[in-house]
Structure 1
Amino acid sequence: MESARAIASRFMLSTVAFGLVGCGLSVNTLNTLLPVGPAEVSTEASEAATAPEPLVLPIAAESAPVPPAPTPDSFREAVNRATSAVAIGQSAQSKADWQLAASRWQQAINLMEQVPSNSPNHAQAQTKAQEYKQHLTAAQRRATGSIVPAAALAPAPKAVLPAGLAAQIPIQGRQGGTPIVAVTLKGSSGAQTFPMLFDTGATGTLITAEMAQAVGVTIVGAIQARIADGSVVSLPVGYVDAVELGGLRREQVIVAIGGSYGLLGQDVYGEYGIAIGSHQINLHQ
């Protein structure tokens, strides 16, 4: 294990920006047309004007071919709904949360059952549909306050990613245009899922003090960070055993602790190509 001084020094060198939100903390960089009169009309022109015009029959224009509508990828969409259901279930704290998770599981099941028989994913879709039904039952029971027997729970489904993708991350919302994603942190006290900002302008990962306490982060030192008003504050630094989102996993991630909202940095996803859509972030290998 590195010394506290070595870790803090390395973290300061590798970190360019932090999003320190709330309490005076915000996302910032750390290192520093003469009307014309009536025209005369000649006799020839007048006669021409009164002559009957030849009859012209309209010719029907050829209609442009309508391109076929794109075929929806039911399998991929089903996986996306299931991934969303897992994220909701991991952070669910009320019956309404579990009702939303159950709704996503039902959508995932319906989509899996729509995968055509000639699809290469048909067999897997049938298996997934049965697996998702177990998760639906569990979520429905939790939504009604019932205890779910451990035997009734199937392992959480793993994302099936197309070739070339390292992760597919659902976007839960946005804050000032920055995507909010569900991130699972694992520490000495266990694992929990939190909403965090996915800010491509930050290289370091920041979590709140509440997040650090919830998962049990081991503090190993501190760094000096410059915030919005230009002042410098000291932030604790520690290790998170694992960071997971959208199928991507990073272990032994150094995090700074402060602010009122978590910020996911490039130290987790920086080695991948990033494509941010309206509902999903894709990380390309």
Structure 2
Amino acid sequence: MNTQIGLEPVKGLIVLGMAVGIVACGRSPVEGSDPPTPEVPQAIVSPSPSPSAAPSPVVQDQKTLQRALDKAYGAASIAQSAASPGDWQLVTRQWQQVIALLQHISPQSPHYALAQQKINEYQKNLTYAQNQSQNASPAPAPTPQIIAVKPVTPVQPVRRRPYSAQPGSIQTPIKRREGGTPVIDVVFNQTQSFEMIVDTGATGVVITQKMAQSLNIPLIGSAKMDTASAKGVTVPIGLVESIAVKSLVVQNLPVVIAGSQLDIGLLGHDFFGDYDLIIRQDQIVFQPR
């Protein structure tokens, strides 16, 4: 799927692999000239009613639809790197929750037709995830059959040499795994550290709304993107002063600010594109090409 994004004034390319594709283009500010006024993205949900009044059914259905679309975005992101049965079981639960949310939208709602359309689409995603969960299960070991007993010359075990990182390589520990995918600590703007999923299938960097608020990220534009959950979804684009893993630092990097359902950021090729990744049991090695 392809998504075109207008980005001003920072040049960047942001694509969420397999589930989300974002094509970004723009011009960097010319030295000595004033940068253009950033375009502030418009909210994609209607304003909330006043505290004194209960939300109308239409507003409530719209919020439910938005929650479902955000959660579908998260399910598609997890599916990018799913490999084990546990990974696909997590994806299956995510799609089940998305469909359950859409089924709560009233038939009288103006969003009902779209909700039914998405239920049909997501049911296919759910079926696929369920099949992958079964297919990814390890096959039982075959029962050994002894055809003949013959003397066997002992074979000396192969001794593996300990791994030695190349000069210039950067090693960082894996804190834990999210759905089988490594999670590491990443420092933003030289001040705050956040856990991030190292997503080799994502082209760009995606941060959560809480991260954007904590870092006070300035908005520089917006993007319309097509995802597995919806078409033409508007998301804000922010500018991060620096992102660092140990001594690997990238400055002035545009990032996607995800919906409220995403609770952990994704670290993509915009950050480590000049390095080869070696994912070991307890650490990730960024090796220069």
Shorter-chain TM band? 0.3 to 0.5
TM-score (norm 2): 0.47
TM-score (norm 1): 0.47
* Greater share of residues in strand: 1
Larger Rg: 1
